[in-house]
Amino acid sequence: MNYISLQVLRTATSNFSVNNKLGEGGYREVFKGELQDEKEIVVERLSANSAQGFNELKNDLVLTNKLKHKNLVQLLCVCLQEKLLVYEYMPNGSLDTTLIGNSPSSSY
CATH code of residue 51 = 3.30.200.20
* Mean pLDDT (the chain, rounded): 83
Q: Is residue 34 part of a domain?
A: yes
Q: How far apart are CA 72 and CA 54, in angstroms?
A: 23
Q: Is residue 1 part of a domain?
A: no
Q: How far apart are CA 15 and CA 58, in angstroms?
A: 24
Q: How confident is the model at residue 87, as a pLDDT?
A: 92
Confidence of residue 51 (pLDDT cuts 50, 70, 90): low
Residue 58 has pLDDT above 80, yes or no: no
Instruction: Supply the range of the domain harboring residue 58.
Output: 6-100
Q: Is residue 92 part of a domain?
A: yes
Q: How confident is the model at residue 107, as a pLDDT?
A: 47
Q: How confident is the model at residue 77, as a pLDDT?
A: 92
Q: Is residue 107 part of a domain?
A: no
